[in-house]
Amino acid sequence: MFELSRKLVALRENSLRELSLYDRTCPMTTKIKIKIISDTSDYLVIDKPINLTIHNENTKEVSVLSTLGGSLFPVHRLDKETSGTLVLAKNKLAAALLADQFQNHKVKKVYKALIRGALSPEKIQWKWPLTDKAEGRKNPQGLSKDRKPCLTEGKVLKANDYLSLIEIQIKTGRQHQIRKHAALAKHPIVGDPRYNDLVYNEKISQRFGIERMYLHSAFIEFEWNGKKMTYESPLPPEFKKLMS
């Protein structure tokens, strides 16, 4: 079971908060750095690293909430395997106001992903109906009786014979929507452990020296106190490494 060695460090904009994590069964210490993109009195925007859950869904996994500590409220989902912008409310009122915007699709979210193969045409519009739960690579859509309308839009930013870097927005909010739609388009996200081929993922990991799913939350925009608030997270260097 992981335990946290907490540092009581004041959060500040564009800062890094570093915490030491250790496993009782392992003498080695792993350090996790979380970049604070913005810290306001009502909410926090962080640049979430890969392999951190939002909640403590599994007691053996390290979560964002347990790592940052304090009274924080998640207002939207971001998969454990996905990196990038994540908003956390600091009080119940802010949580309710932000969650309402997310649930009613008033928030602009832009993702970037590396997918297998050269995607054509360059404009993306995926409309397969999906369930709102995790599925598998054999049937990403899930049972037909549980499917709901979905829309994913975007464009190809760069492509070669083997990979495409895409920019995408989800107009609906089904669980794993981007991952499922990419798989149904026959261009699954590189490194996706659920919807891509595991042998392929392993080959990519060994060749480039990093094991991750190549999906990144690059941009988020929502309204707060009558103003549009926009936050960005730069593309991780490993994306560029694969495309070079």
| Per-residue model confidence as pLDDT tens digits over 78-134 | 999 999 999 999 999 999 999 999 999 999 999 999 999 999 888 999 999 999 999
Model confidence over 163-215: pLDDT tens digits? 999 999 999 989 999 999 999 999 999 999 999 999 999 999 999 999 999 99
End-to-end CA distance of the chain: 39
Residue showing tokens 């014979």: 161
**Spatial CB neighbours of 31, under 8 Å, sequence gap ≥ 6:** 18, 19, 20, 21
Model confidence over 12-40: pLDDT tens digits? 444 555 444 433 334 444 556 789 999 99
What's residue 21's pLDDT?
41
Annotated catalytic, 146? no
- Across the chain, mean pLDDT equals 86
CA distance 180 to 128: 9
Reduced to 3 DSSP states, what percent helix, strand and coil does the chain have, rounded to the nearest 5? 20, 40, 45
Strands 83-89 and 108-116, sheet pairing: unpaired
The catalytic residue among 23, 79, 146, 192 is 79
What's residue 244's pLDDT?
87
The domains of the chain, with CATH numbers, are: 1-104 (3.30.70.580), 109-219+234-244 (3.30.2350.10)
What's residue 145's pLDDT?
97
- Amino acid, single-letter form, for residue 214: Y
**What is the distance, to the nearest Å, from the Cα of residue 194 to the centroid of all Cα atoms in its chain?**
14
pTM: 0.86
